[in-house]
Each structure stands twice: as C-alpha cells, then as structure tokens.
A and B are shown apart, each in its own frame.
Chain A
Amino acid sequence: MSSPKTVKTEDVVPEGAPRLVLAGNPNVGKSVFFNALTGMYVDVSNFPGTTVEISRGKFRNYLVEDTPGVYGVSSFNDEETVARDIILEADVILNVVDAVHMHRDLFLTQQMIDMGKKLIVALNQMDEAEKNGIRIDVQKLSDMLGVPVIGTMAVKNIGISDVIDKIEEASQGNRLPGMEEMLKPYVEKGLTEAEALMILEDDSEICKRKNMSPAGSQEELYKRRRARVDEIISAVVAESNDKASFSVKLGRLMLKPFPGIPMLLVTLFAVFMFVGVFMGQTVVELTEEKIMAGLYQPFVTNLIGKIIPIDSFFGQLLAGEFGLLTMTPVYILGLLLPLVVGFYLMLSILEDSGYLPRIAVLSDRMMNRVGLNGRAIIPTILAFGCFTAATMTTRLLGSKRERVIATALLGLTIPCSAQLGIIAGILASMGLPYILFYIFVLVLLFGLVGKLLNKVLPGESSSLLIDLPAIRLPGIRNVLKKTFVKTKIFLKDATPLFALGAVIITLLRYFGILEAIQDAIAPLTVSWLNLPKEMATVFIMGMIRRDFGAAGLSSIALTKSQMMTALITITLFVPCIASVIVIFKERTKGEAVLIWMGSLVTAFVVGGLVSKFLMLFPAG
C-alpha cells in the first residue's frame, strides 16, 4: 500500500516560500497533478477548526497546497472557506479544469483571474471530451482567458510534464471589463486584489475579518462572469451532440428507477458483504480475538499485574475489564480499525467513481420525509460502521436541524457494525419472520421518529442541489490515500473518546454505581419488558459497548418473544459510551441530553410495546 509519508512541510520548505496552489472543481483529477508535483514530501492534516483535509508538499522552491474541490471561491460550506483561504494566499495557481464540464469549471477559473492571481490551466480529460464528441480549440481558450492552457489526460500521464514545465509561465489573465476600477478603492485601503474581490462579492467572513461592509455586488458579478464563461464556451467548443461515451450512458442509467434501484441494492449488498462479513467477521476474528484479546491483552495484564495488583483501583483503571490499556486498545485496534478502514475504503470508491452523488439523488425522496436530504446518505452508510464516525460526518449536512435529526436517528435506529454481527447471528437462528419483524420495527421507527423531529424542530432543512460528476474508474492510489487519511483522523479523534469512556465505566463500577443502576431499572425490566431481572445487566453492558450488551444475551435463557424484545431494546438503547461522548462534543449540551434521554425513553417504550404485541401470539 502506498501510504503518503507524513513529513512536516516546515522541515522541507523554507518559510516565506512562494505558494503554488492547486485549485479546481470536485473530481477533476487534481490529486494526480499534486502527486506528480510533490512526489513524496506530503503532509496531510486537517485544516484548523474543520474536518477538511489538506495536503501540502514541495515542488522546486514552492510550497504546494492542495485545496478541496469547489465550484467557486466563497463560503457556502466548510470546504469552500478552506479553499478560499488557501487561494487568497496563493502566488501561483494551477487550475485543473475538466474538459467535459468546462461550462461549470470555468466559472471558478474566471473568478480566480478576476482576483488577479497568476494562473495556469490544465485542461484535463481531453480523451473523455473527445469520446463525447466535444472538440475544444485550446489555443483560442488560452487567448480568451489570457493564461496558458495545456490539454492533459492525467490518468494516462499525458501532458502532465508539459504543465509542470510551464508552471513559471503562469500569468494574470483577462479580467471582466471594469474589474480594476471596482477593486481600486479597496486596494487603496491596503487589501490585496483577491481580498477586495471577496468584499465585492459579499463574502461575510472576509468582510468581518477586514471590518468592512459587503459591497452588495455579488449577484451582478456572478451574472457577468457566467455570461463571460458562456461566451468563451460558444467560441471554443464545437460539439456533435449525438455521441455519448459508455460512462455517460452508465451515469444516466444509474438515475433511472430501473435499473438504478436494483443497481443500488446490489452495490449496497456488495458493500455489506465486504465490510460486514469480510472485514467485520473474518478480519476482526483475527485482529480482535486472536491478536488483541488473545495475545496482547494477557501480555499487558500480566505486565501491569507485576507492578500493581489488578484488583486495586489503578490496576482496574489500567488493566481491568474496561482498562485503558486493555479494553481501549483491544476495541479500537482490534475491532474498530478494520471496520472503519473497510467503510472508508468503500466510501472513497463510491465517492471517486462519481456514484455517491447519484446514491444521494436516489435516496433524496426517502430522506426528505424525515427532514433530511440525499446528502445524509453518507453519515447513514457510516453509521452501520461506527456511530462516532457517522456523527462526525454529520458536519457536512446543510443546517443545524439536519445535524440534530441525523444524530438522533442514526444513534437510535442504526445498529453499529459491532452490534450488527452479534444481532445478525442471533436473528439468523430465530428464523425469517423474526428477521423481518426486527427490520420492520427499526425502519418504522426511523420513519416515525424522523417525521416527528422534522415536525417539532424549528427552521427548515436544506434541499438537494448537487452537481453530478462523470462516472469513472477510481484511481487506486487516490482511494488508498483517502482511506488512510480518513482512518488516521478518525483514530485521532475517537481514541480519546473511548479512553474517557473506559475511565468513566471503571469509576462507576469501582464505586458500585453500576449495580445501583441495575437494581434501579430492574422493575422496569421485569414488569414492563417481561424480561428476567438479569437483563438489566445486559442493558448496562450495552451502554458500555453496544456489542457487549448483545453478547450478554446468549448467556440468559429467553423465549423467542423475549429475545426479540431484548434485541430491539438493545439496538435502540443508548449508544455506547464513546458515542454519547461524541454526541456531547458535536452537539450543544441541551441537544445532547435530549438525544441521549430520548433514545433511552424510546428504547424502553418501544421495547415494552413489542413485548405486549408479541404476547398476542402465545406460540412464540
């Protein structure tokens, strides 16, 4: 696996080095250029205060910075503000443009030209354009933009070296007429031209930073820029509309209910087989049971036991059943790591192939009903892996209310992969009617709770407006790099949560609070849920780790109806302690308490109803 080396760029690039920034729309192939330019000196990190990952590297005397793909320089979301701040500081910009989607991409190009930045354009995917009957007059495009334009086919490594050779020829292009005069008053106040353009385009953050009021000319400038791009396109592009490449045809088929929905189901099934079955069972058996629990844990327990007695408070804290050096690493490295790698690998492939936005389109209608839009499919897929990863991903949703709805719904109704393995095993032994009943209850609840939250929460959810990129074969190197970076960031964020959770549980247990809670909820367990008293222990265990809870089920003799009640209650019951902590981290305190208590109450109410319902069928 070619994982990027993490070398701090400060070590290899002198301070004050000129900045070469890679910019372009999403999915245009920027990363190929970045890799070609920087070779091995790559430093991937989160942009401060965001989950947006930024790669930095070195090329000649330049500091090279990659930016998230954006459609324009502004601040509609996190990616855009990050890209904007990097572009504002750029000395030279290598703008990668998708030849098939010039109509969209040149808006950003023209905007950066209007900023007065030195630009060179790599017109990528020339082969794909040709396959679709698009002919482009590259020389004329270069003349009209006023910057060098070089045709490339990055994945086939054609034209990349030409671009690299010509970086120094990057130049300021032809701005919209009258641009200089509009920028002048701001430049005289000490702003750069690029910052001045942001003020002219009403960018609220830049206005605040510079203590200026928005100029109110965004709409006018956007319209003129769009008109200019349309004019350029008409002049340089000749297309015969009857040609459509295989990937374009495939992209269209994916959106038709037939065969789009069967294709989606097959894809999801393949993802499940890979992550849930291969990673979740085969790999986890090796990593968790054999390596971590089989070799590592006895070793550590033994080692710590030689220094302090395991029964003592600190012994428990470090190497007890829920110790910092025992449960925490076993859980994170043995169980979560393979699952999360599996999910991010699948997500990166779906993303880079251009399929993910189409899944969002197909699921938009379903998501609308619960106050979300199609983009929420991404945290939903991740929730089947690990709820903490999913909650962090809810940041990409358009509004606060959507983030609250998604957090609550996913935490309540989606069993995480750790749980799913055990639950699926128990369900399989119970027979098809029980499997269907379990799924039915969860889907019903997903819909009902979502609808309810959508009704009671103030405000309005954002609606879907997404660009559909071309369908293409994802590059292996890029997919692996994405998976590596996302997994690394997940481990960095989640490990402290799991460690804190372990500490809390050890404290609760050591001081007997856990037993007190078990006794307190026992009446509820017995009279309302019709379950044996010992089930309270399983519920408490479920709070520590959802799969512990589910695993405890097999040790108690239950009828099938009781088992079904217990499975559903445990699925809905508070997420594991790390999830609770991440909810508190990502949401406000009030929201977090409501989500947490809400899922507790829902779990018991629904569990009781299921129990009463199943009692109508005495055979079970």
Chain B
Amino acid sequence: MTLDKAKRGDEIEIIHINDARIRAQAIRLGISEGARMLCSEKVPAGPIILKNRMQEVAIGRKIAHMIKVERVG
C-alpha cells in the first residue's frame, strides 16, 4: 500500500520512494527504504506524521502517495 493509506498508530516499513529527489531529501531525515517507523498522527485530509525514535517528519499527501509501505505491526 502507499503511505497515505496508513492509519494513525500503524507501524510501517518503507518499501520504496518513487521519486529520486524526494528519496534523497527523505533519507537525510531518516526516512530510508527499509526503515521502520510509526505513523504517529494523520491530519484529516492533510499531512502524515512519521516518527522514528524522537524524530518526527510531516509528509504531504501527494508525497505520501509516492511512498510504498508495508504494515508491520
């Protein structure tokens, strides 16, 4: 599934980010392919907040749609 389908509280694993530029920017913030993160918040129809340890990143819906993830817990 894509990240925009994730629900609040989902543990997900990043499978693939379908845009080279976004991939490079995301990896610096700790969102790399293979990383396991928590979908800690989902603003209604708005951005998705991914959390890894103390690190939180807000991802707009359009980018979230380009990120393939898998639910892991």
Contacts and interface: CB of A to CB of B under 8 A. Distances in A.
Contacts of A252: 40-41
Contact of A374 (B20, B47, B63): B47
Given A101-B55, A103-B52, A104-B30, A257 B24 contact: no
B43 A361 contact: yes
Q: Pick from B32, B47, B54, B59 the residue with the most CB of A within 10 Å.
A: B54
Contact of A368 (B21, B53, B61): B61
A392 to B, nearest CB: 24
A568 interface: no
Given A465-B59, A466-B57, A468-B56, A76 B43 contact: no
B1 interface: no
B25 interface: yes
Contact of A103 (B30, B33, B45): B30
Contacts of B20: 219
Given A103-B52, A361-B43, A365-B46, A468 B57 contact: yes
B41 to A, nearest CB: 5
B60 A465 contact: yes
Contacts of A256: 41
A365 B55 contact: no
Contacts of A107: 27-28, 30
Given A71-B29, A365-B43, A463 B63 contact: yes
B32 A226 contact: yes
B63 A464 contact: yes
A21 B40 CA distance: 36
A71 B60 CA distance: 19
B62 interface: yes
A536 to B, nearest CB: 45
B28 A71 contact: yes
Q: Identify whether the interface residues of B are mostly helix, strand, loop, or mixed.
A: mixed
A465 B25 contact: yes
A108 B29 CA distance: 10
A410 interface: no
Contacts of B54: 100-101, 103, 132, 134, 248, 470
Interface residues of B, number: 33
B58 A368 contact: no
Contacts of B73: none
A222 interface: yes
The range of chain A's interface size is 35 or more
B46 A223 contact: no
A508 to B, nearest CB: 45
A534 B26 CA distance: 58
B32 A223 contact: yes
B23 interface: yes
Nearest to A361: B58
A219 B28 CA distance: 11
A85 interface: no
Interface string A583-613: 0000000000000000000000000000000
Given A361-B49, A374-B60, A464-B47, A103 B55 contact: yes
A134 B57 CA distance: 19
Nearest to A375: B60
Contacts of B26: 465
A203 to B, nearest CB: 11
Given A222-B28, A364-B43, A374-B47, A239 B58 contact: no
B57 A362 contact: no
Given A255-B49, A365-B46, A465-B25, A226 B61 contact: no
Contacts of A463: 59-63
B46 A364 contact: yes
Contact of B44 (A100, A108, A257, A368): A257
A181 interface: no
A467 B41 contact: no
Interface string A215-254: 0001100110010000001000101000000001001100
A320 interface: no
A579 interface: no
Contacts of B32: 223, 226
A357 interface: yes
Interface in A127-170: 132, 134
Interface string A27-71: 000000000000000000000000000000000000000000001
B42 to A, nearest CB: 9
Task: Output the residue of B20, B26, B28, B40 with the most chain A CB within 10 A.
Answer: B28
Contacts of A360: 58
Nearest to A363: B46
Enumerate the 4 nearest inter-chain pairs by beta-carbon distance, A residue then B residue, closest first: A464-B60, A463-B60, A365-B46, A463-B62
Interface of B: 20-30, 32-33, 40-41, 43-47, 49, 52-63
